[in-house]
Chain A
Amino acid sequence: MIQSRPRTPLGYLPILLPAFALIAFYIVPFGSMVGMSFFHNLGGGAYEQVFTLENYARLVSPFFLSVLGTSFEVAFLVALFAIVIGFPFTYLLVNARRGTQVFWLIVMLSVLSLSEAIIGFAWSTLLSRTAGIGVLFEALGLTEKAQSYAPSLGAVLAGVTYIAMPYAVLLLYPILSRIEPDIEQASRTLGASPLRAFFNVIVPMHRTPIVVSFVMIFVFTLGSYLLPQILGRPTNWTLSVVISDQALLQSNMPFAAALSIFLMTVTILLVLLVTLINRKGAKA
């Protein structure tokens, strides 16, 4: 790394553009959101620039706390499913032939390129009574009569997990592809079956990347607002749904801003907590 300072003021020019971009696109909008969250809503998209805590006061209600609970429940379960399915899948993938690896990575990237709305309607069709797996189950005799599986919490989880899965795989792939094959083989020569070698060595060895991927998927999933609306009942709606509802339909910008800041603060605290626990656990 070059450590010397630029010799002329002109030398600072290269950092001006990124600095400007950072201020213009992150700090200013964020600051205006913080400010907005303290304004008084007048209705119909108008607001008054006075300092008030009423938006935050309104937030501390059983309704919003339960919505927050749903958000965290969905994000937690989705992150859990994505890792529990994604980690073994990625481990198999890095040990597969080159062609197989390329095929699945392309599949994952294609899922990422799909719009959330398309995925949502595809899942709601798949889980519907008339055209989906309900019909299949009935034909197989698994259920007496075809039934609909959406909207439900399960449908929301399935849809969001489907979107989160490529992230899990793409996050874990570079890490798992660096494992020496010797490690797994050593544990086998020492008496572990391949399955035990996986759970006894491969998983604990990757504790930190697993926690980091979990947190990233958790945070990413908190922001999902389209799928819960398409695949869930109103009781399954997440805070992001409520925020977009307040901002876009109710035109209550101050309250939407307060909700956003609340969600962000709780998320940051949670991430810090997990990081701290992980660091402690790694040392023990």
Chain B
Amino acid sequence: MSGLIVENVDKFYGNVQALSDISLTVDNGQFVCLLGPSGCGKTSLLRIVAGLEDPSAGRIVLDGSDITTTPAHKRDFGMVFQSLALFPHLTVGDNIAYPLAIRGVPKDKRRAEVERLLELVHLPGKADRAITQLSGGQRQRVAIARALIMQPKLFLLDEPMSALDAKLRETMQVEVKRLQRSLGVTSLLVTHDQREAMTTADLVVVMSEGKIQQVAPPIEIYRNPANAFVADFIGITNLIAGRIEGGRFEGPGGALALPGAKSGIATLSIRPEDIALAPQAGPDTLTGTVTFVRHLGATTEISVDTGNADEKDLTVSLPGRTHCPFEVGDTAHLSVDPASVVVLG
């Protein structure tokens, strides 16, 4: 058995349960993202894997051996903290070489390794700088280099990009992914940013309230969300509650043909880009009143009130150059390709 296995892990802080019955397998070389809203227990899980926190129940297994009680400093993992946690009194080079210094690697060898890592993170020749002389993005790279210099068995990242501005963040996400792929290091990244998860992960683990909601590749998470939480958390979706009978869905605003769908009460998840405008009302259209039109350039978003529950207007997203025939107050007829509809139980 190779890779990381998290087995039935629970975590309590006093009476607060942060994790309940988490089980997860990460294959060697895989990049797995823990994705979920703030407070769902992502950091707790990562810290348990790192050995900085004990699980209240369950086991952590790495390459077939139980490491649940192995202290953090004997796990040989590399971790990048949310605060980066660079050592302020050391230079860039000494920060990166710290894991080598701890293990008694001689100075000249350390120096060579540091240069190699600095190349890798695109900071060549910066070894003698003070940490305070670096920009946010550069510090990020130093933290990554420091975590990778020991060729760790596991590369752990806790929202490392959250302090960067949006543009830099996207660049770093791509870079981290490239780096991980070229090194083949098994990685576990925590984030609440679904774009970050989609960019970096081979496998996304969606979490909410201490439980795993779905484990799947990014596109699968988007196209086939396991439940309403995942559908709503990943991207934008329209959740429509209604009833399916004989392959037809009836709900607020009209009906849709859903051949082969199981009969009973159901909630549909339909992505805004999967909704099209219909020229007129038909047997398989939803009808409502346009309440808002947003010309966003790349797309045009139309909000349509079909009498959906909780006054949630449907969102329709059209490619930006499509002519939008509506103004607020007009009646719109909408059609949906049944293949793009996800039926949630």
Contact = CB atoms under 8 A, between A and B. Distances in A.
Interface string B56-92: 0000000000000001110111110111110111000
Contacts of A194: 73
Contact of B50 (A183, A189, A204): A189
B146 interface: yes
Contact of A189 (B72, B82, B84, B87): B72
A64 B79 CA distance: 59
A205 B50 CA distance: 24
Interface in A213-247: none
B222 interface: no
Contacts of A24: none
Given A182-B81, A182-B83, A196-B102, A190 B89 contact: no
A210 to B, nearest CB: 12
Nearest to A200: B102
Nearest to B150: A191
Given A191-B150, A205-B88, A185 B81 contact: yes
A209 to B, nearest CB: 12
A180 B88 CA distance: 12
Nearest to A180: B83
A69 to B, nearest CB: 34
Given A188-B52, A189-B72, A190-B78, A182 B102 contact: no
Interface in A188-207: 188-194, 196-197, 200-201, 204-205, 207
A92 interface: no
B73 A185 contact: no
A186 B146 CA distance: 10
Contact of B102 (A180, A185, A192, A204): A192
A194 to B, nearest CB: 8
Contacts of A193: 71, 73
Contacts of B29: none
A278 interface: no
Interface string A170-191: 0000000000101101111111
Nearest to B158: A182
A180 B82 CA distance: 11
B48 to A, nearest CB: 13
B84 to A, nearest CB: 8
Nearest to B102: A191
A-B pairs with the 3 shortest C-beta distances? Answer: A186-B85, A182-B85, A189-B79
Given A185-B85, A205-B88, A207-B89, 6 more contacts: A182-B83, A185-B52, A188-B51, A190-B99, A190-B146, A191-B150
22 contacts: A182-B81, A185-B52, A185-B81, A186-B85, A187-B87, A188-B52, A188-B72, A189-B50, A189-B72, A189-B75, A189-B78, A189-B156, A190-B78, A190-B150, A191-B76, A191-B103, A193-B71, A193-B73, A196-B73, A200-B102, A205-B87, A207-B89
